[in-house]
Each structure stands twice: as C-alpha cells, then as structure tokens.
A = this chain, B = another copy of it.
Amino acid sequence: MLTLRERQKQRRRDRIFRTAINLFREKGFHQTTATDIAKASHVSRGTFFNYYAYKEAVLLDFGAQLLGELREQALAELNQGSPPLEVLRRLWNRLAEVSERERVLLSPLAYELLNPDPQRAKAAFEALPLGDLIAEILYPLKIQGRLRQDMSLERISRSMADVYLLSALRWAAYTPGRQLKDEMNKFLDLMLEGALSREVGKPAKAARTSS
C-alpha cells in the first residue's frame, strides 16, 4: 500500500500531467513553457522539473498510456482467437485514428523518438515499445513458420514500427489534410507482402485474403 506521502506525490504528478496535456492541446506544444505548466498546476518550476526532467517527458507518459490501452485491446483479441494479422491490422487502424485525433501531440512525440541525444531517444523508445507490441502480435505466425526466417521477429517488428513513425511524422508535418489511415495501411501491406508481385502479372494484394 502507498503511504500518505506517496499518494500525495502520485496525485501531484497526475495534476501536473493533466494540466500540461490540456495546455499543449489549447496553446500548442512549443508555445507552452515549463513555467506555464507549473503556474497552471500550482507548483513551482523546480517542482515541475522534479516530476518531468523535460517537457517532452510529459508526452512520453501520454504516449505510454495510449499504447498501453492499444496493447490491452490487441492481447485480448489474440486471447479470443482472432488471427494475428487481423489483430495487427486493427491495431494499425486504431493507431491511425489516435494519431489523427492527437496530431498536435503526435508530432513532438515522434520527434522525441528521433532526438539526437541518444539518452533521450532511448528513454522515448523504452516508454513507447510499439515494436515489442507488434512482435507479441506476430509471434504465433513465427511459431507457425509463416514469417520469413532470415530476419529476427524483433527486427521485422521494429521496422514496422519505424515505418509507422516516419509516415505519422510526415503526415503530421506536411499533409494533415489527408487521411493517415490509408497511407498506413498501404505501408503495412508493403511490409507484410513486399514490393515484388507474389505472382507475375497479379497484384500482390491477393495475398492478403489468403493470410
């Protein structure tokens, strides 16, 4: 059980978190300063930095929550017997929906994963293990020998997460008017089935139904 002191700390962290996310949504991420967040959540600037060493760390908490929910849904579907490729596609579509809805927060979050400071980038990858989730979903296919065997499941899954990262980042920065979902689904097909036709003359799409 948490002590009173720990509960107070947790409540304060929650308050700072919610206040920060609301401010990011209202004013934009880059327009919101640590001082703004501290003021609006009734703590000192120093206290804010005790909870979050940098502004982007609030976004990591936010992304980790969203990804945690997506993971629970996906694992529940797998447990209910849904085929892994269907579960992956549903995850992909939900990821697209969340990204479209949370575009203002998505863009700085995606850049944090690419932070030139290796420690910051590492912290971001650990907070947002999308590649690991994809690997969990694809694991049954690996066991069945339905994945290519010259690459590890981890590598395959990480490249899929990478492709999501770059398409979401470009979409958020340049073409928010278009749908991300369509773009993401095409890239998923490409990663699953490859650029080369499965049979000469036939579109590769046919392979999707057989999986």
Contact = CB atoms under 8 A, between A and B. Distances in A.
B111 A116 contact: yes
Given A118-B173, A151-B186, A163-B162, A146 B197 contact: yes
Given A111-B116, A114-B169, A150 B198 contact: no
Contacts of A194: 148, 190-194, 204, 207
A177 to B, nearest CB: 14
Interface residues of A, number: 46
Nearest to A134: B195
B198 A191 contact: no
Nearest to A165: B166
A189 B156 CA distance: 11
A156 B195 contact: yes
A201 to B, nearest CB: 5
Nearest to A111: B116
A18 to B, nearest CB: 26
Contact of A196 (B148, B173, B174): B148
Interface in A157-202: 159-160, 162-163, 165-166, 169, 173-174, 186-187, 189-198, 200-201
Nearest to A174: B118
B191 A146 contact: no
B163 A159 contact: yes
A81 interface: no
Interface string A130-153: 000000001001001111111100
Give the 4 A-B CB pairs with smallest separation, nearest first.
Answer: A194-B194, A148-B204, A193-B194, A149-B203
Interface of A: 107, 111, 114, 116, 118, 121, 138, 141, 144-151, 155-156, 159-160, 162-163, 165-166, 169, 173-174, 186-187, 189-198, 200-201, 203-205, 207, 211
5 contacts: A114-B169, A149-B205, A150-B205, A151-B190, A162-B162
